Amino acid sequence: MTDKNMIDAIERRLAALEEMLTHQSLAIEELSQQVHMAEQARERLAQKHKALFEIVQDIEDKTADGGAGLAGEKPPHY
């Protein structure tokens, strides 16, 4: 292999590696954004879960005494 052929081969390999690096960098950035969005969604769900848990706890506390706390309350559809 001549020096010119060897240099051409190295340049092609280098170009291919640069292209792969660019694609991988883009893929990593996209995955990072998706992880960030998933974390935000998880945090929102955790907050909703906490709020619902507190509502259930409140209902359980009101009904623990035989439901006397709910006797005067109208159902939500009234």
- What's residue 78's pLDDT? 66
Low-confidence ranges of the chain (pLDDT < 50): none
Domain ranges of the chain: 3-62
Among positive and negative, which fits the CA dihedral 4, 10, 16, 22?
Answer: negative
Among positive and negative, which fits the CA dihedral 51, 57, 60, 65?
Answer: negative
- Measured in whole angstroms, the distance separating CA 13 from the mean position of its chain's CA atoms is 37
